[in-house]
A and B are shown apart, each in its own frame.
Chain A
Amino acid sequence: MLLRYGLAAALVLPSIQIAFQHRVTPDARAVLRRNILDAQLHAMRQGDGALSAGARERMRSANPEWDFMNRTFLALALSELARNGSGEERAEQIAAVDSLIEDTLRLERDHGAEHFLLPYVHRRPFVDVSGRSVFVDGEIALMMAVRERAAKGAIDSRWTGELRERLELIRSQMERSPTLSAESYPDECWMFCNSVAAAAMSIGEEVGAGEHASFARRFVDNAKQNLRDPETGLLISEYTLDGTPQDGPEGSSIYFVATMLAEIDPEFAADQYQRARRELGAELLGFGYAREWPESWRGVQDIDSGLIVPGLDASAGASGMAILGAARFGDEETLQDLHRSLHLAAFPIEEEGQFRFAASNSVGDAVLLYALALEHPTQE
């Protein structure tokens, strides 16, 4: 009997991936891109231009950052699609990004940047005199920067002035610290947020919103020298303003960090992706996933990692970001493996004509949309 079960397992288990193969081809991913885009735009229309109230409140109850990040990733996705699009569709995508930015600025004005931050931001004051969070400033700047780049040459510039002001605020904050970094929370610098700010600076210079690209390169050079995990060579995820490491490399951030750093130092960014793939990526019977931490560093399960599957150490947060990294760096094999896992374990649903993944949320779907949008090569 043991032999029979062994033989059956040898036949069946390696074949399961075949059942999902039709969902992971480039053509299938193009269909998925359309489905998620339609769902995200539908949610925006329901919410009068931003996110539907239901989706927003559900995410905010877990983490107000997700509401904010949904906006950023959706803006990134729409801008990337607009860069490669034309005509009416491009104009609609740019208009949708404008709507996201307007709504985000309105909430910032009405409720303060704390509206998008976790409550512990109030536990102590920021170290820097500005008292500002680069998590909020950086992502708003990035939304404006990618919008301007996507619209360049076709649609009127709209945010260059505000982008210039915000980048100057961010830069002065970063320059005051020994790590050329800014706080996201009091005395917490996150590589995720600082790489977003640096990418916004680099893109900002392209669109005429100041000359900060050389500073962005200085930030990256400093990070290379001083903010890497010595075991893996991966950038660490969190440190204090003076550069004391607080958290090692994390899957839920490094893939996106590499994507942002590709705007500044493509060679280093590609190196970080390859290291992340080696240290965090895994595959089982054709199904790919990512771990939250490398073997050399064990962190704590948190809101960013999501549930960690015991045994496999698989993290939904890291795996979603790994899709983004694989798309950005053209790693088709890994991309297909990860998409197989997505369709196996994220439970795609179509309800009332709208598509979503049950195991994900709106920000997760927006991250996936950005990854799918990146698969379009730029036509520049």
Chain B
Amino acid sequence: MKEKEEPKRRLSPGIQIALTIWALTFLAHAFGLRDFTSVLSGTPVVGVPQEAAVLGGMTYVVLWLLATSIAPVALVAAMLGISSDWVRSRSRH
């Protein structure tokens, strides 16, 4: 008799979203894009063409804002989902 295959455990979408955003933000920080945010005040980045500096700076700002707002929301939504699934499974028993 074939053994019943265990369903693959996957991270919930909310947790995946949160981890992805935080990982990208960490990478942006590790690559030094934080210093590119000086373009917000119109200050050039030494040795970097203006367009690249604006792109890098805005990328960092967007990722940072996502990391401090959307990622926590996604994580909490995932926790709420996990909690409600757990409550439902308990009530079935």
Q: What residues of chain A have their CB less than 8 Å away from a CB belonging to chain B?
A: 1, 4-5, 7-9, 11-13, 16, 19, 58-59, 61-63, 303, 306-307, 316-317, 320, 344-347, 349, 358-361, 364
Contact = CB atoms under 8 A, between A and B. Distances in A.
B41 A359 contact: yes
Given A5-B73, A8-B77, A16-B69, A316 B34 contact: no
Query: For this complex, into which size category does the number of interface residues on chain B fall?
Result: 20 to 34
What are the nearest 6 A-B pairs in CB distance? A8-B77, A8-B76, A359-B37, A361-B43, A359-B40, A306-B42
Interface string B51-93: 0001001000100110011001110110011001000000000
A316 B42 CA distance: 9
Contact of A13 (B34, B39, B73): B73
A296 B85 CA distance: 52
Contacts, number: 82
A358 B42 contact: no
Given A12-B73, A359-B37, A63 B42 contact: yes
A317 B41 contact: yes
B77 A306 contact: no
Contact of A316 (B14, B41, B44, B46): B41
Interface of B: 14, 34-35, 37-44, 46, 54, 57, 61, 64-65, 68-69, 72-74, 76-77, 80-81, 84
The binding surface of chain A is classed by DSSP as helix
B76 A11 contact: yes
23 contacts: A4-B77, A4-B84, A5-B14, A5-B73, A5-B77, A7-B77, A8-B77, A12-B72, A13-B69, A58-B44, A61-B44, A303-B42, A307-B39, A307-B40, A344-B68, A346-B37, A347-B34, A358-B35, A359-B40, A360-B41, A361-B38, A361-B41, A364-B41
Contacts of A344: 68
B73 A347 contact: no
A207 to B, nearest CB: 33
A344 B69 CA distance: 11
Contact of B37 (A8, A9, A59, A347): A347
A260 B80 CA distance: 53
Contacts of A364: 41
A243 to B, nearest CB: 29
A364 B41 CA distance: 8
Contacts of B35: 358
A9 B73 contact: yes
B88 to A, nearest CB: 13
A58 to B, nearest CB: 6
Contact of B40 (A16, A62, A316): A316
Nearest to A59: B43
A8 B43 contact: no
Contacts of B61: 345, 359
A344 B74 CA distance: 19
B34 A62 contact: no
B41 A12 contact: no
Contacts of B14: 5, 8
A262 to B, nearest CB: 25
B9 to A, nearest CB: 19
A338 B60 CA distance: 20
Contacts of A317: 41-42
A360 B65 CA distance: 17
Best-surrounded residue of A63, A306, A359, A360 (most CB of chain B within 10 A): A359
Contacts of B34: 347, 349, 358
A222 to B, nearest CB: 32
B38 A360 contact: yes
B7 to A, nearest CB: 20
